[in-house]
Each structure stands twice: as structure tokens, then as C-alpha cells.
Amino acid sequence: MTKGFTLIEVIIYIALFSLLMGTAFVTAYGLIEGTNKLNAKTTVQEEGSFVMRKFNWALTSVSIFSIPNPNELTLTKYDGNVVNISLSANKIIIKESTNGNTPLPITTDNVQVTNLQFQQVGSNPFGIRATATINGTDFIITKYLRK
């Protein structure tokens, strides 16, 4: 009696092993792809939340505002600080008179801002609605100005 496997048994074992390895590779690829998508979505949410908090900060203690064009907002605060927010090269930039009007981006290279719109809402009190589209997701904030 000979010991070992027959050719048919070896072929069956190789086929089963190949099937298991193929399934493992497909599962691993799916997990990695899902993780990448989740990381991208988390990055967009974090950037959008930061931009909305920055808009909220800028709209606090505003005495005068103007919207020279739908993509630009100029604010004058009660302390005299002038803040300008606009869209430039797929980034939202902010300039403050207290820092010498040096434009500083408030979005990173990880995201693309395709739309930034400012709109006056209400009449008494006045409000400003800011809409930013970051990587295809809309973020909106409306703040009413108090006197």
C-alpha cells in the first residue's frame, strides 16, 4: 500500500485552497476600500464642521456686513476688525484687518470647495446664510445678527 495523495486529491485540495484565498483577497480588498471611503467621508465632515464654526465665529459681534458678490462676504465687527471671507482656487480664505489682511486658507488640501455662497436673509433682524459645497457635500449655516 502506498502512502500519499492521488493526483485527483491534490487537484481538489489546490482548487479549494485557491477558492479560499480568492475569497480572502476579495474580502480584504472590500475592507480596505470601505476604510478609505469612511476616512474620506470623515475628513469632509471634519472640514465642513470646522468651516461652519469659523463662519459662526466671524459672524459674532458684527456691526456691518456686505456681500459684494455671492462668493464673498465682508464683515465689520464692533471692535473695528474687518473680516473678509471668499473662495479662491477651491479653498475658502479669510482675511482679517488685525493680521494685516494676510489671506489664510481655512480649508486644507485634503478637500475641494466647489461652491461658496453668501445670502442675506430676513429684514429685522438681518441674517446671513452661508453655504459651502465641500467634496460634493453641502454645509449650511444661518446666523442672525444682533444689535
Q: What is the pLDDT of residues 79-135, one digit of tens each?
A: 888 999 999 889 999 999 887 878 899 998 888 999 999 999 887 778 899 999 999
Q: What is the mean pLDDT of the chain?
A: 89
Q: In what order do the strands lie in the sheet with 62-69?
A: 62-69, 72-77, 82-88, 91-96, 104-105
CA distance 111 to 18: 40
pLDDT at 48 over 70: yes
What percent of the chain clears pLDDT 90, i.e. is strictly above it?
A: 46
At 86 the pLDDT is 92
pLDDT at 4 over 90: no
pLDDT at 29 over 90: yes
> Per the structure block, which three cell numbers stand in for 87?
473662495
Rounded to the nearest angstrom, the gap between the alpha carbon of residue 75 and the centroid of all alpha carbons in its chain is: 24
